Every structure is written in C-alpha cells, then in structure tokens.
C-alpha cells in the first residue's frame, strides 16, 4: 500500500478546451467543491494569452474568488515571466511551466521552439525561486505528437532533465494526445526513472484510447506516486486536435482504492464536484 497524490487539473486542463465560455463564478464553485474532497493539489487556471486561450482569460478573477482550504496548493500555468508575474499577484501557491518533447507541438502551443521555450522559462524559475514559489514542469507529447508523429523516449528524457536542472521540483509527463500505450509508457519509464528518479516524476494521461488507467498502472509499477486527473474526465487540449479529456479523477480514485493505495480523497465529495463539472460544461452525468 502506498500514498498516492491525485493532482487535479480539471479547472485548467479540463475547462481550457471548452468552446463555450464558462462563467468565472461556476469555475470558482468547481474549485471550492474540489477543495472539500481531500485533494491537496489543484491546478486552478493558466496565465496565458487570452487571444490564444480565451477560456482562461479570467485567471486572476478565479484565483481571487476561491475559498482557500488549508493544506491545499492552488496552482497555475505560466508560460513566461508575464504569466508568472500575474499568477504571483493573484496568489498562486505554485506555478507550472510547460515544454514539449516535439518541435511541432511546441510551435503550435507556445509559438516557439523547445529550446526557446526553455529560455523563456529560465526567468520564471529565477523569479519563482526568489519568491519561494514552487515550480512544476510539464513535458507534453511523451510518446506521440499530433504534428510530428512518434516521439523518441530519449527526447523526453532530455527535456525532463533540463526542467529538473532548471529547478522544477517535479516533471509531469504528458500524454497530450492520449495515444500512449502501456508498452510505450514502459519503454519511456525504463529510461527515465533510473536517471531522474520516480519521486520527481508524475503521470499526466489523457484518455482518448481508454488506456490511461493501464498506463497509470505501469507508472505505479515504476514507482510514480503522483497522477494528474480531471474531475468528470473533462478536457482535451486546444493545440492537440482529437485529444480527449484527461483521465477522470473518479476513475483514478477507484483504481487506487482497488489497489489498496491511500489518496485521502472522499468519493462522495468528489462525485458532487463531478456533477457540478458536468452541469457547467453541459454534459450528462
């Protein structure tokens, strides 16, 4: 039996892909419901260009409106120093920078190459360290890119190593498209874990092919103990056509309960949050 952390990304990764603008008050209510579940890490929003991702234009309003529960870390995505400065002003407890293991996705998502994105992250890391704000890193497209095709594990290792060397406390490995297979995840982690250590890696699986839970099981076998998920399985990525939602937090919770792992999350409270998520995105539940 292990202690496993569910890193809730629904309010950000889930909602960022909704075509219909969800009012800030509904997002705030969602985060507040999530705060009552026992989840300890919640990615609330992102401080990105409103021209690129209009759904996240209310980032400061949402972070400013939530009721902060003790012991919960409220996170925000920050692609550059401008985003970090705004996130800091809105009192984000931690921030995340997000790189890609493929050049095609990096260009579409961040409008720059992988190397340029890392250059933009350097001042974010410096400012965050000076302010005592923890920084998480993401590597997207860990096995496949919607633009460039298959991605070599060695490239993922290089980018993850760079993010950790820059000062990220953890790197979340993003199966952006949701096409990763258990065999692919096995190959990747067999390369990454011996060098980087399982304690500094998290799994971020979209569930397009319904393999996310199998991929999480492989990652558990490799010692990973942090998994990103989205309440109600909301999500996708505006720059990954065809990508479906993140694996549902409820499904990961059920898996952990079956395997006897401790998460501290209350299923009934989570169900309440999932019902609200469904209501604000117009889905059935």
Residues found near ligand HMG in the complex (CB under 6 A): 13, 16, 46-49, 52-53, 77, 79-80, 82-83, 98, 109-111, 138, 140, 174, 176, 204, 237-239
Strand partners, 47: none
Which of these ranges, 10-18, 45-53, 78-86, 274-282, lies near Mg ion under the rule CB under 5 A?
Answer: 10-18
Please tell me whether residue 8 binds Mg ion under the rule CB under 5 A.
no
Task: Tell me whether residue 13 or residue 144 sits nearer to Mg ion (CB atom).
Answer: 13
Which one of 141, 145, 168, 237 is the catalytic residue? 237
Task: Tell me whether residue 38 or residue 245 sits nearer to ligand HMG (CB atom).
Answer: 245
- The rounded distance, in Å, linking the Cα atoms of 16 and 172 is 18
Task: Tell me whether residue 19 or residue 67 sits nearer to ligand HMG (CB atom).
Answer: 19
Site string for Mg ion, 12-31 (x = CB under 5 A): -x------------------
Task: Tell me whether residue 13 or residue 94 sits nearer to Mg ion (CB atom).
Answer: 13
Neighbour tally for 197: CB within 10 Å = 11
Query: What does the block give as tokens for 210?
Result: 């319904």
Active site residue 141: no
Closest among 185, 183, 192 to 160, alpha carbons compared: 192
To the nearest whole angstrom, how small is the minimum distance from the Cβ of residue 234 to Mg ion? Answer: 11
Closest among 102, 96, 127 to 115, alpha carbons compared: 102
3 state DSSP class of 215: helix
- The rounded distance, in Å, linking the Cα atoms of 203 and 20 is 28
What are the residues binding Mg ion (CB under 5 A)?
A: 13
Residues catalogued as catalytic: 237
């Amino acid at each position: 039996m292990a202690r496993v952390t569910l890193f809730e990304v629904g309010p950000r990764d889930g909602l960022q892909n909704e075509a219909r603008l969800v009012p800030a008050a509904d997002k705030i209510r969602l985060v507040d419901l999530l705060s009552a579940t026992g989840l300890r890490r919640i990615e609330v929003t992102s401080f990105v260009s409103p021209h690129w991702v209009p759904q996240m234009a209310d980032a400061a309003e949402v972070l400013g409106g939530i009721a902060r529960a003790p012991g919960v870390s409220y996170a925000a995505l920050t692609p550059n120093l401008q985003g970090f400065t705004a996130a800091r002003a809105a009192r984000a407890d931690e921030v995340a920078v997000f790189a890609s293991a493929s050049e095609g996705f990096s260009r579409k998502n961040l409008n720059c190459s992988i190397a340029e994105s890392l250059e933009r992250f350097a001042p974010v890391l410096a400012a965050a360290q000076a302010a005592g704000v923890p920084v998480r890193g993401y590597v997207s497209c860990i096995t496949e890119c919607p633009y460039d095709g298959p991605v070599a594990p060695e490239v993922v290792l290089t980018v993850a190593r760079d993010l950790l060397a820059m000062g990220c406390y953890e790197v979340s490995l993003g199966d952006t498209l949701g096409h990763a297979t258990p065999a692919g995840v096995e190959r990747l982690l067999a390369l990454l874990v011996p060098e980087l250590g399982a304690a500094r890696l998290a799994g971020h699986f979209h569930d397009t092919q319904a393999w996310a839970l199998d991929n999480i099981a492989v990652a558990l076998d490799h010692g990973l103990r942090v998994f990103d998920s989205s309440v109600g399985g909301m999500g996708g990525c505006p720059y990954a056509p065809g990508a479906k939602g993140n694996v549902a937090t409820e499904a990961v919770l059920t898996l952990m309960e079956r395997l006897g792992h401790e998460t501290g999350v209350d299923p009934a409270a989570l169900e309440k949050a999932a019902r609200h998520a469904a209501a604000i995105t117009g889905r059935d539940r």
